[in-house]
Amino acid sequence: MEGKIELRKSADISLQKQCFQAVRTHFTALGIEAVLDLPTPLLKDLLPHLTACQLDEIQPALNKRGLSTYSGWVEILRDLVGLSRALDFRTEAEAKHEVMLRLFTSVFYGLSSNYVLKNSTNLKSNSFLSSAAKSIHHFILIPCMHQALQALTTNQQPLLVLLEKHIRSVHVSHLLLTLRKPQAVLYVLHRLLDHGITTNLVVSIDSALDLAWLLHGRGSQYVNTELKKLFSFPHVLQSSPANSSLDVESTASGKSDNVIPCKRVKLYSESVEKEEDPSDVPNFTLDPQVLCHTFSPCDGPSAGACTFGQITHLEIRTCGPDSLKVLGFSLPTFFCLQSLSLHSKSIFRELDVLEFAGVLQQLSDSGCSSLAHLSIGLLPHVGLMKTLLNASPRLTSLCVEFQTAIWGPQFNLDRAGTAEPNTSDLPLEKLTVKIIQLQSDLHFLTSVLRRSPHLASLHIAGMRLPTGCSQSQLLSTLSESNHSLKVLTFEDIKLCDCLPDILKLLRGCMLEELSFNDCRLLEKCINPEKSLVELVAALKMPSLHSLSLAQNRLAKNVCVLAELFSGQSQSSLKQLDIRSNFIQPADLLEFAKRLMIHPPPHRLTLDLRKNPGDRDPETWNTALKRLQPSSFLLVEGWKSTDTMVDHISNM
């Protein structure tokens, strides 16, 4: 009898799937009203079968009815990026933006992907590009895809107007001024940066001249003399990428020649002789306003004089000496800059960092600085954090990443600081410190924490102390000095001997988000279950809505977490992350049974990824079914071959 019921269910599901596929295929013929008339449960089941265009069309009406299209966008993301990555986008807005950004970029530049090929009829049209342009706020500029960008200057001008209205962030991933025909690329950038609403700029190149062009007139009063010459002379930059930083030294020092460097003229002449007739060489300048008048109609956006936009958020992902040099001359007058992020693939030289701190000091001393957020890495030693804070004492957010060179001089941690300790309060509200080195001295961090009474968010990763030392001092400092903490993240830090200090900290603050990721919480505990019971009792604070205990080898002790929702003082958790804890199917089932007795007051987002569910799939699936009524589950397949990797990562 049971077998017949299962066969009937399977047949029903198969028929339903065929119907959903028919709706997807004939969506236009059916009409949106007919689809919306479906019963709500059936409509929810339909969403994962719809295309991106169909989801975008139906979303406004569904949202008005209080229904989310999240499941549909996640299903598309599974095709695009894989299940695990898709689940990292927790909201409808995040998932939709990621889908639309990926699809827009693929379709616009003609990049192939399985999803685009399968849905080419719906996607390869101007209507899709226009629809996607209204949904994205980030534009990836790929200069070598010249034809697509050239189209924005001709037959796709309406699309460029849409992008102006919606794009807030532009990512420049390749060299600009060494292109053979950069006019269209520079014009598109000009329209987005100067005519549009774009204020965020992401740069993944280390080119002094390119960075100077991007920053010119858009917030900083610094004028790169080499760039100014190229505004006046015909375009002659046809050299190799290595020459994109030509004359940085003379430019940075403010020296100016009245002639175009001979080396570039020679290179340019050679390339002309080999590639084309000299008479066909374009004669134009790099001045954005001249380019704008060249490409735009008389009554277009360039009618009259163009105004320069402002860059308020700048991120340089490949920040080498050339970029740092140009930035050093731009920064003292970059008054509109609110956020600056610099990351180098290699460790910054200490001298370069100290010079950069001096530039920050000039900006701060001007009294006109808007800089509130600074992110920088990789720094050679932790003492430089104090240097940066003293140079820019008005920062409200600081993210620093340190890595000690294996070879080279060893640094005195305090030598980069001031001669006398600075005890004045800092306005810091957010601090992130990531350390990749064998040992750290806690003093550099605790001294900053004591000066930061307004700190609301703290993220510390990778801190290693000398043998025999404990993180108790760090936790005690937080308990004494940082009562405003709302978000606290510890990552890859040994806290197994700090339970009393953790309990004291939790009882004295009102955290909203807490993460102990890979912190070896139960390692070496005489009674792990008892220790976890104590921790759970302290976690029942009414303010806490997000908790992560990923990579802590909870294993069978996961059952204790169900006690979060028992008793009179129930937890208000909405998100619980217990990834990579070697939770066996039987242990998850016991956790599910206890959670059924004491269900959470809110539907819980429960992250169970990277746990060995394949050890007993039947029991694992039974546990998942019992959890579903009270939880939104984030799960993925597990391979037993990953067991050793999981074990090593939690040692």
Question: What pLDDT shows up at residue 270?
Answer: 35
**Predicted confidence (pLDDT) at residue 412 exceeds the cutoff of 70:** no
**Predicted confidence (pLDDT) at residue 399 exceeds the cutoff of 80:** yes
**Predicted confidence (pLDDT) at residue 513 exceeds the cutoff of 90:** yes
**Predicted confidence (pLDDT) at residue 185 exceeds the cutoff of 50:** yes
Question: What pLDDT shows up at residue 643?
Answer: 53
Q: Give the Cα separation of 490 and 527 in Å (integer).
A: 23
Closest listed residue to residue 561, CA positions, set 581, 483, 170, 395: 581
Same domain, 436 and 548: no
The pLDDT tens digits for 63-92 are 999 999 999 999 999 999 887 788 889 899
Mean pLDDT over 267-273 rounds to: 34
The pLDDT tens digits for 607-644 are 999 999 999 999 999 999 999 999 999 998 666 665 54
Mean pLDDT over 189-201 rounds to: 96
Question: What pLDDT shows up at residue 236?
Answer: 47
The token pair that represents 251 in the structure block: 């430019």
In a domain, 562, yes or no: yes
The pLDDT tens digits for 514-542 are 999 999 999 888 899 999 999 999 999 99
Percent of the chain with pLDDT over 70: 84
**Predicted confidence (pLDDT) at residue 413 exceeds the cutoff of 70:** no
Answer whether the bond into residue 378 is a cis peptide, omega within 30°. Answer: yes
Mean pLDDT rounded to a whole number for the chain: 84
Identity (one letter) of the amino acid at 525? C
Same domain, 158 and 110: no
264 vs 48, more confident: 48
Same domain, 288 and 155: yes
Question: What pLDDT shows up at residue 459?
Answer: 98
Closest listed residue to residue 565, CA positions, set 604, 611, 527: 604
The token pair that represents 549 in the structure block: 């205990």
Q: Give the Cα separation of 310 and 333 in Å (integer).
A: 13
Same domain, 106 and 143: no
The pLDDT tens digits for 164-179 are 999 999 999 988 888 8
In a domain, 364, yes or no: no
Same domain, 389 and 247: no
Question: What pLDDT shows up at residue 68?
Answer: 94
Last residue of a domain, one of 116, 135, 154: 135
As for how many domains the chain has, the answer is 4
Question: What pLDDT shows up at residue 638?
Answer: 67
The pLDDT tens digits for 10-63 are 555 577 788 888 888 888 888 889 888 888 889 999 999 999 989 999 999 999
Same domain, 236 and 150: yes
Question: What pLDDT shows up at residue 234?
Answer: 52
| Structural domain boundaries enclosing 61 | 1-135
| 285-289, 330-334, 576-580: the lowest-pLDDT one | 285-289
**Predicted confidence (pLDDT) at residue 395 exceeds the cutoff of 60:** yes
Q: Give the Cα separation of 111 and 620 in Å (integer).
A: 40
| 62-71, 298-307, 598-607: the lowest-pLDDT one | 298-307
- Beta-bridge partner residues of 399: 375, 432
Q: Give the Cα separation of 152 and 159 in Å (integer).
A: 7
Question: What pLDDT shows up at residue 393?
Answer: 95
| 298-302, 490-494, 600-604, 612-616: the lowest-pLDDT one | 298-302
In a domain, 607, yes or no: yes
Mean pLDDT over 473-494 rounds to: 96
Last residue of a domain, one of 97, 114, 135: 135
Last residue of a domain, one of 291, 316, 337: 337
Return all residues near 88 (Cβ < 8 A) that are at least 6 apart: none
In a domain, 565, yes or no: yes
Return all residues near 20 (Cβ < 8 A) that are at least 6 apart: 45, 46, 49
Question: What pLDDT shows up at residue 82?
Answer: 85
DSSP string, 572-604: --SEEE--SS---HHHHHHHHHHHHHS--SS-E
Same domain, 127 and 199: no
Question: Exposure of 608 by Cβ count < 10 A (0-12 exposed, 13-18 middle, 19+ buried)?
Answer: buried
Closest listed residue to residue 502, CA positions, set 541, 464, 465: 541
Confidence of residue 238 (pLDDT cuts 50, 70, 90): very low
Same domain, 473 and 575: no
Q: Strand, helix or coil at 390?
A: helix
Mean pLDDT over 560-578 rounds to: 92
